[in-house]
Amino acid sequence: MSKKIVNNVEMDMTAEEEAQKVTDVENFQTELNQRKAQEDLKTSGKAKLKSGDALTDAEISALFGDN
């Protein structure tokens, strides 16, 4: 069982709190992966612009938004 500190007192987390903690960590990791993928698309798109290669729709969207 995980612990938490409330008002300088260490106590056990409830099952619901532990489940929420797991969900929050998973959501954070998903968002982090999405941001990394977006940055990778930007980097790839910039390189293609410099070299004159065609951009994918995802790269265009990453560089210029979803307009």
Q: What is the pLDDT of residue 65?
A: 86
Q: Give the separation between CA 42 and CA 45, rounded to whole angstroms.
A: 5
Q: SS3 for 14?
A: coil
Residue 55 has pLDDT above 70, yes or no: yes
> In Å, how far from its chain's centre is CA 67?
22
Q: What is the pLDDT of residue 67?
A: 52
Q: What is the pLDDT of residues 3-47, one digit of tens each?
A: 999 999 999 999 999 999 999 999 999 999 999 999 999 999 999
Q: Give the separation between CA 46 and CA 50, rounded to whole angstroms.
A: 6
Residue 66 has pLDDT above 90, yes or no: no
